[in-house]
Amino acid sequence: MLIFPNCKINLGLHIVNKRNDGYHNLETVFYPTPLFDAIEIVENFQTTQNRSHISFTQTGLTIPGDTHENICIKAFELIKKEYPLLPPIKMHLHKHIPTGGGLGGGSADAIAVIQLLQEKFNLHIPQKKLQELALQLGSDCPFFLLNTAALATGRGEILNPISVDLNKYAILFVNPQIQVNTGWAFHKISIQNSERESIAKTVLQPIETWKEKLHNDFEAPVFDFYPQIRSIKNHLYDNGALYASMSGSGSTVYGIFTKKTNTDFNFPANYFCKWV
């Protein structure tokens, strides 16, 4: 069975405060976007008693780190723990969504693995249980079970659908092949205690107002340390973006345009650039 998990962008991101459990409360809007990975799962009839329950292969964009730490494998192992009779599988991931770019591609892949296992092996996992399992994999994983525009609060797991529709616009993704460590980014955040208009209110206003009102708190520390990421955002605005922002803790920057433009953006050849 084959599935094509999509990524998301953050429309604004406010870090509200730090919690006693070490996580942060935040406010953001997760918005699904049509940039896809591909995952295939088939039953592995060639395995033996002494071999692993999962045979994993990967193509496409390089994923840094140890393959055994891949979140797709973690998702399988999580389900295998709950359903020990799950048979051995072969899993292949083709990576097209930039990794470590703030687009939630890894989280989307993990949820896709759970959904594939659920469907292929008729696991009948209740929705509440799916949400609990998703949260064990990552704070933004529950969003990909919903996969529609949603206001996210708490760690990002409290989701309420919101009426935001960007379908009439073109979105350009630009990733400079920089890996921004999320833990480092949270450590660098200066939490703003002043009253701010809620993102929930801002995103329901005309998109032409977003440039001045819709902000991502991660941009300040990330832009200071990686000025080339700031320059991407500026370049998108210089070339007609209605709104441009870094997604999540970076490093991907997206620009929202009235229509796809033929402008030569002159980004370096190694940058990932994709219209959706």
Q: Which residues are catalytic?
A: 8, 140
Sequence-separated (6 or more) residues with CB below 8 Å from residue 122: none
| Alpha-carbon span 104 to 9, nearest angstrom | 8
Q: For residues 27-50, b (16+ Cβ closer than 10 Å) or e, as one string?
A: bbbbbbbebbbbbebeebeebeee
